[in-house]
């Protein structure tokens, strides 16, 4: 890629010697507490999903535990917001560091990465979401895209699915005719776990990193990247730049060390906002798509409202 990353430990380069089966079994934690202590993100996400299912199935009996986790998540989001207040200064310093230490060719490579991500996001929105709305929900596409435009604009400017949630709810209910019962259950869940744009981004950065560090990828590696990126995206919070800090999880499955990941994060971080804007638009568009599909299948959509789209 034309980027010289010095100080990289040559012994950690290349694919990890663990077999695909070992890496897959490694996702299932034998001891979740030890995974937490070691910071093994995938086993933690796996255990969290199971625990979340347990809490939902437990109903009233486990509600208190669910409330504790919701409150803890809220507190962590507040901390993240405080940290992000420093972001502009950090970004300025990092751009200066990238330009100064790696030269302008590094910036060109980041430009290519940005273009690839934007094209990928556009293709995903038009073909995957568009295809689902057109062929599965059998509804006109133009109304869908016009109806969620406000939410997409807010997602693009805030880079946060969570912050966009009120607008997504409003667009989906008022412009697409999705009934409140479906919108208010599907969208909050989607803003937390449905992040295709994030998965796409993690996958693209993983390929970018593999090229930088000369890691030869096999077909199994591609599958592992797709699976890990999807799992990691489920565990990503709907706030700016959240997934960049979970990159290590995806990169570790192709044998990229923590030190190498730190270099990549430092390299991408200054430009992450512009990448985040695009992936957040995909994330909220996916949530809107799913809410229309669920509403359609449950007969909870007012099609006249959908077709006559009244702008909020």
C-alpha–C-alpha distance, residues 76 and 101, integer Å? 34
What is the CA angle 139-140-145, rounded to 5? 110
Q: Which of 192, 194, 228, 241 binds ligand ASP (CB under 6 A)?
A: 241
Query: Does 238 interact with ligand ASP (rule: CB under 6 A)?
Result: yes
Q: Which of 154, 172, 195, 254 binds ligand ASP (CB under 6 A)?
A: 195
Query: Does 159 interact with ligand ASP (rule: CB under 6 A)?
Result: yes
C-alpha–C-alpha distance, residues 79 and 152, integer Å? 26
Q: Which of 35, 143, 152, 160 binds ligand ASP (CB under 6 A)?
A: 160
Smallest gap from Cβ 241 to ligand ASP, in A, equals: 5
Q: Which of 35, 109, 173, 198 binds ligand ASP (CB under 6 A)?
A: 198
C-alpha–C-alpha distance, residues 198 and 229, integer Å? 8
Residue numbers 259-278 binding ligand ASP by CB under 6 A: 276
Q: Which range, of 27-35, 83-91, 181-189, 237-245, touches ligand ASP by CB under 6 A? A: 237-245
Smallest gap from Cβ 168 to ligand ASP, in A, equals: 11
- Under 8 Å between Cβ of 208 and 229: no
Query: Does 239 interact with ligand ASP (rule: CB under 6 A)?
Result: yes
Residue owning tokens 């939902």: 56
- Under 8 Å between Cβ of 45 and 231: yes
CB atoms within 10 A of CB 106: 18
Nearer to ligand ASP, 124 or 279 (CB): 279
Q: What is the 3-state secondary structure (H, E, C) of 65-133?
A: HHHHHHHHHHHHHHHHHHHHCCHHHHHHHHHHHHHHHHCHHHHHHHHHHHHHHHHHHHHHHHHHHHHHH
Smallest gap from Cβ 7 to ligand ASP, in A, equals: 27
Exposed/middle/buried for 45, CB within 10 Å: 0-12, 13-18, 19+? buried
Query: Does 167 interact with ligand ASP (rule: CB under 6 A)?
Result: no
C-alpha–C-alpha distance, residues 12 and 107, integer Å? 26
Query: Does 243 interact with ligand ASP (rule: CB under 6 A)?
Result: yes
- In the shown chain, the binding pattern of residues 32 to 71 toward ligand ASP, with x for contact by CB under 6 A and - for none, equals ----------------------------------------
Q: Which of 35, 161, 228, 291 binds ligand ASP (CB under 6 A)?
A: 161
Smallest gap from Cβ 272 to ligand ASP, in A, equals: 8
Query: Does 168 interact with ligand ASP (rule: CB under 6 A)?
Result: no
Whose CA is closest to 84, among 192, 163, 151? 163
Please give the residue ranges that form the binding site for ligand ASP (CB under 6 A): 159-161, 195, 198, 236, 238-243, 276, 279-280, 283
């Amino acid at each position: 890629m034309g980027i010289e990353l010095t100080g990289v430990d040559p012994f950690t380069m290349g694919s990890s010697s663990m077999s695909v089966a070992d890496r897959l079994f490694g996702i299932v934690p034998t001891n979740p507490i030890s995974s937490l202590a070691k910071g093994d993100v995938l086993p933690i996400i796996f255990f969290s999903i199971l625990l979340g299912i347990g809490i939902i199935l437990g109903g009233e009996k486990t509600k208190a535990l669910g409330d504790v986790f919701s409150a803890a998540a809220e507190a962590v989001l507040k901390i993240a917001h405080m940290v992000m207040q420093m972001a502009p200064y950090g970004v300025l310093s990092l751009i200066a560091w990238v330009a100064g230490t790696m030269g302008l060719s590094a910036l060109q490579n980041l430009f290519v990465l940005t273009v690839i991500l934007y094209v990928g996001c556009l293709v995903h929105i038009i073909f995957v979401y568009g295809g689902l709305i057109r062929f599965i929900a059998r509804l006109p596409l133009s109304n869908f895209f016009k109806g969620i435009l406000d939410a997409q604009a807010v997602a693009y400017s805030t880079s946060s699915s969570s912050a966009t949630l009120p607008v997504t709810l409003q667009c989906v209910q008022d412009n697409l005719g999705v009934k409140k019962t479906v919108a208010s259950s599907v969208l909050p869940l989607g803003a937390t776990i449905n992040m295709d744009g994030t998965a796409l981004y993690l996958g693209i950065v993983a390929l970018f990193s593999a090229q930088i560090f000369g890691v030869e990828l096999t077909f199994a590696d591609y599958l592992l990247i797709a699976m890990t990126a999807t799992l990691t995206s489920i565990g990503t919070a709907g706030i700016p730049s959240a997934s960049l800090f979970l990159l290590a999880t995806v990169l570790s499955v192709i044998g990229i060390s923590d030190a190498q990941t730190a270099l990549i994060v430092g390299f991408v971080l200054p430009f992450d906002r512009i990448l985040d804007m695009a992936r957040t638009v995909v994330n909220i568009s996916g949530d809107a798509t799913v809410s229309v599909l669920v509403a359609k299948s449950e007969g909870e959509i007012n099609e006249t409202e959908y077709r006559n789209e009244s702008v909020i």
